[in-house]
Amino acid sequence: MAKRPRAVSPAALGLAETAAAASVPRRSARIHQDGDRLVYNVHDFLANKLGSEIVGGVYPPGTLFPNENELRARFGVSRTALREALRVLTAKGLIVSRTKVGTRVRPKADWNVLDPDVLAWHLTAALSEDFVTDLFELRQMVEPQAAALAAKSCEESTLNEIEGAYADMVRYRDGSGDLIAADLRFHQTILEATGNNFIGALGGLIHTALVGSFQLGWESASFMQHDRLLQHRAVLDAIRDRNPEQAHAHMAALLRDSVDDVKRALRKRGSASTI
């Protein structure tokens, strides 16, 4: 049986709002700040709310979605706005509609998990160790090799960008600036430094999830920030020294320790929520 939909508290939305703000919004979205909340136009609000509930398990895969009349009564919206929201969810692979059958939630394997909104919904409603593990497995498959390729072929101008990102990480380590953006820029620039368009695009595809994982990682590891900064520095030095093997090894070690930081933060949050 599907779980009963429930409202999400403003405090629980902080990480997802950070990720959503960092991602590129849909062209149709009108986003503005209302206190602590990000407010969308009607159909974007509906897509965001219903998408979060699907990803969060309120409507599990394989179950029938509420019909149009139920949803319109629940939200007090027009048929046009609701249908536009459902089209968004359909395009992201979350639901499928069949004549005389209704709308059904699709299996997770069909979801477009690299879509910025779907990633943000995971951060809002279904951030788990499994999600973090999957994300870092993908990063381990790509980023150490990207660091090695960058060490082989990185142009001087790109190396300067990596150095600049690292310098900002050092400058903002005490929370005086945007540490998350600097960390993200460090990793994305290394991906772009490979010269491989597909690898470079990966940072953009998982941008939202990276923002969330960086935020959790630095938040949980304040007492280890110096160690993490030294690990970033080791990656940078290996790329500057044109040492692919060391660049690969240092990036792999950084990711192994970073995933532990994020999982530690999740466990801490889970413990705090039960107090």
The alpha-helical segments, DSSP class H, found in the chain are: 14-22, 42-55, 68-75, 79-91, 116-125, 129-153, 156-171, 179-193, 197-205, 207-220, 225-240, 244-273
Using the 3D structure, point to which of 54, 87, 111 is the last residue of a domain.
Answer: 111
Is 218 among the domain residues?
Answer: yes
pTM (2 d.p.): 0.76
**Per-residue pLDDT tens digits of the chain, which is 275 residues long:** 444 443 333 333 344 444 444 333 343 444 444 444 454 588 899 999 999 999 999 999 999 999 999 999 999 999 999 999 999 999 999 999 998 889 999 999 999 998 989 988 988 887 888 889 999 999 999 999 999 999 999 999 999 999 999 999 999 888 777 888 999 999 999 999 999 999 988 888 888 888 888 877 776 544 447 888 999 999 999 999 999 999 999 999 999 999 998 888 888 877 655 45
Can you give the pLDDT at residue 220?
A: 56
Residues 6+ apart with CB under 8 A from 163: 236, 240
Cβ-count burial of 61 within 10 angstroms (0-12 exposed, 13-18 middle, 19+ buried)?
Answer: middle
The CATH number for 44's domain is: 1.10.10.10
Owning domain of residue 160: 127-273
In the prediction, which pLDDT does 272 show?
55
Domain end among 111, 143, 171: 111
Q: Which amino acid is at 24?
A: V
Do 265 and 178 lie in one domain? The reply is yes
Q: Do 149 and 229 fall into the same domain? A: yes
pLDDT of residue 101: 87
Q: What is the pLDDT of residue 85?
A: 96
Whole-number Cα distances in Å, 123 to 20, 55, 147, 159, 266: 10, 10, 27, 32, 11
> Total domain count for the chain?
2
The verdict on 166 and 246 lying in the same domain is yes
* pLDDT reported for residue 240: 97
106 and 131 housed in the same domain: no
